[in-house]
């Protein structure tokens, strides 16, 4: 009984802050204000949500603070310029990226081929319900409510599809 009161106290206190402050900031920063950045009443804080939200914020802050060596490769071919950026450690480069500054490299094409890559078929409602049940142990009503929330936020397209076209 005490934990229920505590859940409601924390939830009722923090949830409005999530609706107003967190959602507006998140929406403007990450969704470019393309969606309704007013209150979002689909966010809630309670005994389960609050620690998870804290963990997400902590991991995000750690990620932002971590030092990463970014290498930008600029290619000039037949008057066209293209650049590619990548994190040095992810491609196995462990040296100081500064030593690459202004260096020219020779690119040797080892294999050139054309291939057609076909996309996966559209994700249908029945596939979504099956995956949600199998991987997340969610029932169909809960899955459809979550999909509806994502749709209303503009994060997914219409989710009630039966036939891929």
Supply the CATH number for residue 160's domain. 1.10.290.10
**Domain tally for the chain?**
3
Confidence (pTM): 0.31
Domain that holds residue 29: 2-65
123 and 161 within one domain: yes
Residue 123 annotated as catalytic: no
Do 15 and 38 fall within a single domain?
yes
Among residues 35, 60, 123, 158, the one annotated as catalytic is: 158
Report pLDDT digits (tens) over 4-60. 666 666 767 777 777 777 777 777 777 766 666 776 666 666 665 566 667 777 888
3-state secondary structure the chain: CHHHHHHHHHHHHHHHHHHHHHHHHHHHHHCCCCCCCCCCCCCCCCCCHHHHHHHHHHHHHHHHHCCCCEEEEEEEECCEEEEEEEEHHHHCCCCCHHHHCCCCCCCCCCCCCCCCCCCCCCCCHHHHHHHHHHHHCCCHHHHHHHHHHHHHCCCCCCCCCCCCC
């Amino acid at each position: 009984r005490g934990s229920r009161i505590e859940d409601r106290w924390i939830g009722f206190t923090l949830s409005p802050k999530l609706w107003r402050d967190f959602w507006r900031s998140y929406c403007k920063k990450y969704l470019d204000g393309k969606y309704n950045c007013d209150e979002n009443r689909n966010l809630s804080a309670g005994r389960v949500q609050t620690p998870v939200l804290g963990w997400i914020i902590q991991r995000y802050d750690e990620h932002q603070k971590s030092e990463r060596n970014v290498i930008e490769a600029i290619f000039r071919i037949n008057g066209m310029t293209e650049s590619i950026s990548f994190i040095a450690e992810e491609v196995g480069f462990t040296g100081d990226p500064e030593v690459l500054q202004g260096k020219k490299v020779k690119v040797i094409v080892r294999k050139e081929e054309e291939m057609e890559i076909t996309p996966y078929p559209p994700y249908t409602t029945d596939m979504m319900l099956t995956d949600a049940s199998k991987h997340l142990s969610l029932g169909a009503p809960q899955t459809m409510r979550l999909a509806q929330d994502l749709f209303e936020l503009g994060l997914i397209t219409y989710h009630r599809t039966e036939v891929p076209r």
